[in-house]
Amino acid sequence: MKGRGKKAARGTSLQETTAFHVAASAAGLQPRGGKDAVEGSYRAQIIVSKGAQFTGSVDVDGHFSVSEPQSHRWDYGLGIALSAGAEIACWVEPHPASSTGSVGTMLKKLDWLKAKLTTRPFKQLNAMTFEHNQGIQRFHWLLTPQGVCRITATSKEARTLAKAGLRMPARQITLP
Amino acid sequence: MNPSAEISTTTRKRVRKARRPRLQLTHLGPIQAADVSFGDLTVIVGPQATGKSIFLQTLKLLLDRDHIHDTFKHHSTAFNDNAGAFMEGYFGRGMASVWGAQSALTWNGTAAALTDYAKPTKSKKRYERMFYIPAQRVMSLPGGVSQNFGQFNFGDPYTLRAFSDAVHDLIQNEFGAKGELFPGPNRLNETLRKPIQTHLFGGHRLLIDDKDFTKRLGLQVKGQAKPLGFLSWSAGQREFTPLLMGVYWLCPTTYRRKTGSTAEESIEWVVIEEPEMGLHPQGIAAVLLLVLELMRRGYRVVLSSHSPVVLEMVWALQEFKKLHSSELSVRRILDLPATAEGKKIALSALSKDYAVYYFERDGSVRDISNLDPASLDPSESEWGGISGFAARTNEAIADAVNTAAAPPKVKRKQNAGKRNAASEGSAT
Alpha-helical (H) ranges within B170-226 are: 190-199
Query: What is residue B107's three-state secondary structure?
Result: strand
Alpha-helical (H) ranges within A30-172 are: 40-43, 60-64, 101-117, 123-130, 156-163
* pLDDT value for B18: 53
The C-alpha of A13 sits at a distance from chain B's nearest C-alpha, in angstroms, of: 31
* pLDDT value for B399: 84
* pLDDT value for A16: 65
Q: What is the mean pLDDT of chain A?
A: 89
Cβ–Cβ below 8 Å for A161 and B382: no
Q: Does A156 touch chain B (CB under 8 A)?
A: no
Beta pairing, strands A46-48 & A53-59: unpaired
Report chain B residues whose CB lies below 8 A from the CB of A147. Answer: 374
Q: Does A143 touch chain B (CB under 8 A)?
A: yes
Residue B398 lies in a domain: no
Structural domain boundaries, residue B333 = 3-386
* pLDDT value for A30: 95
Residue B410 lies in a domain: no
User: Which residue from B60, B36, B40 is spatially nearest to B273, judged by alpha carbons?
Assistant: B60
Burial B97-124 (b: 16+ CB within 10 A, else e): ebbeeebebebeeeeeebeebbebeeee
The C-alpha of A19 sits at a distance from chain B's nearest C-alpha, in angstroms, of: 18
Query: What is residue A49's three-state secondary structure?
Result: coil
Residue B417 lies in a domain: no
Residue B365 lies in a domain: yes
Residue B91 lies in a domain: yes
% residues pLDDT > 70 (chain A): 89
Helices B281-296 and B340-351: crossing angle in degrees, nearest 10, is 80
Q: Hey, how many other C-beta atoms are within 10 angstroms of the C-beta on B49?
A: 12
Interface list for B 254-273 with A (CB within 8 A):
none
- Total-model pTM: 0.86
Q: Does A63 touch chain B (CB under 8 A)?
A: no
Q: How confident is the model at residue A2 (pLDDT cuts 50, 70, 90)?
A: low
CATH of the domain at B189: 3.40.50
Residue B172 lies in a domain: yes
Model confidence pLDDT, tens digit, residues A59-87: 999 999 999 999 999 999 999 998 878 89
Run of H or E residues at B420? helix B416-421
* pLDDT value for B207: 92
Report chain B residues whose CB lies below 8 A from the CB of A118. Answer: 427-428
The residue ranges of chain B whose pLDDT is under 50 are 1-12, 14-15, 409-428
The ipTM is 0.84
* pLDDT value for B428: 27
Query: Considering CB atoms only, which of A134, A165, A169 is closest to B374?
Result: A169
Number of domains in chain B: 1
Model confidence pLDDT, tens digit, residues B78-101: 998 899 999 999 999 999 999 999
Residue B74 lies in a domain: yes
